[in-house]
Amino acid sequence: MALRDIITLPDKRLRLVSEPVQKFDKDLRKLVEDMFETMYEAPGIGLAAIQVAVPMRVITMDLAKKDDPKEPKVYINAEVISASNEKAVYEEGCLSIPEYYEEVERPVSVKVKYLDLDGKPHEIEASGLLATCLQHEIDHINGILFIDHLSKLKRDRVIKKYKKAAKHADGKPAPRVEPTSRGL
Ligand code: GNR
Ligand code: NI
């Protein structure tokens, strides 16, 4: 097991469309183990492989309440195959957009098909937090972030903030402004 770094905005890799898993081998199991370790440590309730810079359609999730036994779930090559017309609003956050939370409207329930770690197909009807989280993670593997569901004004404001923060954290000193004669 190993912790992996979580990539954050404005990292362009978050916009990649991840590739389907074709081989259900030891490397896949290692990736999933590392994703769980990274997700629990963060802590987060879900994680898409692209968030640890691996563009494969792999999702880990655990919606168990704090202090309850763990319920680790893996969804591979997951797709939404139908969604309810009824929508609900839920306050979302994302480990790749740290410390930003906003209400997002999404279908209340979705039917999702996916493969397990053995490559065996499953279909589930999800509602509530599971539906929200599955949609959030399936968005990630398609290069979509929850801020894409907000108004352009809010989205652009968030992107700008993280771009600015990255600029000052990249090791380069802040630009020095030459004193003018007027400012002594
Ligand atoms: O930890 C997470 N919490 C969360 C809360 C509301 C809706 C979605 C999520 S997923 C997020 C972890 C994450 O960024 N997964 O991609
Ligand atoms: Ni996220």
Spatial distance between the Cα atoms of 22 and 142, rounded to a whole number of angstroms: 17
| Count of beta carbons in the 10 Å neighbourhood of residue 32 | 19
The predicted-structure confidence for 94-140, as pLDDT tens digits, reads as follows 999 999 999 999 999 999 999 999 999 999 999 999 999 999 999 99
Residue 180, domain member (yes or no): no
Spatial distance between the Cα atoms of 14 and 2, rounded to a whole number of angstroms: 21
Cα(19) to centroid(ligand 2), Å: 18
Residue 29, domain member (yes or no): yes
Mutate to test the pocket of ligand 1, among 136, 138, 139 (most ligand atoms within 8 A of CB): 136
Cα(118) to centroid(ligand 1), Å: 25
Three-class HEC string of 86-103: CEEEEEEEECCEEEEEEE
Closest ligand, as measured to the CA of 148: 2
Check if 137 is active-site: yes
pTM for the structure as a whole: 0.93
pLDDT of residue 184: 40
Q: What is the CATH number of the domain that holds 106?
A: 3.90.45.10
Q: Answer yes or no: is the C-beta of 44 below 6 A from any ligand 1 atom.
A: yes
Spatial distance between the Cα atoms of 81 and 178, rounded to a whole number of angstroms: 59
Residue 101, domain member (yes or no): yes
Q: Answer yes or no: is the C-beta of 137 below 6 A from any ligand 1 atom.
A: yes
Cα torsion through 71, 148, 16, 46, rounded to 10: -10
Total number of domains in the chain: 1
Mutate to test the pocket of ligand 1, among 92, 104, 130, 145 (most ligand atoms within 8 A of CB): 92
| Token representation of residue 41 | 């440590």
pLDDT of residue 156: 97
Residue 83, domain member (yes or no): yes
**Residue ranges making up the domain that contains 129:** 12-170
Residue 152, domain member (yes or no): yes
Q: Whose CA is nearest to atom 16 of ligand 1?
A: 47
| Token representation of residue 76 | 């591979």
Q: Answer yes or no: is the C-beta of 94 below 6 A from any ligand 1 atom.
A: yes
Residue 120, domain member (yes or no): yes
Positive or negative, the CA dihedral 13, 55, 49, 54 is negative
**In the predicted model, what is the mean pLDDT of residues 63-89?**
97
Query: What is the radius of gyration, based on Cα positions, of the chain?
Result: 19
> Per-residue confidence at 53, pLDDT binned at 50, 70, 90?
very high
83 has which bridge partners? 110
Residue 184, domain member (yes or no): no
Residue 23, domain member (yes or no): yes
Lowest mean pLDDT among 54-58, 61-65, 76-80, 179-183: 179-183
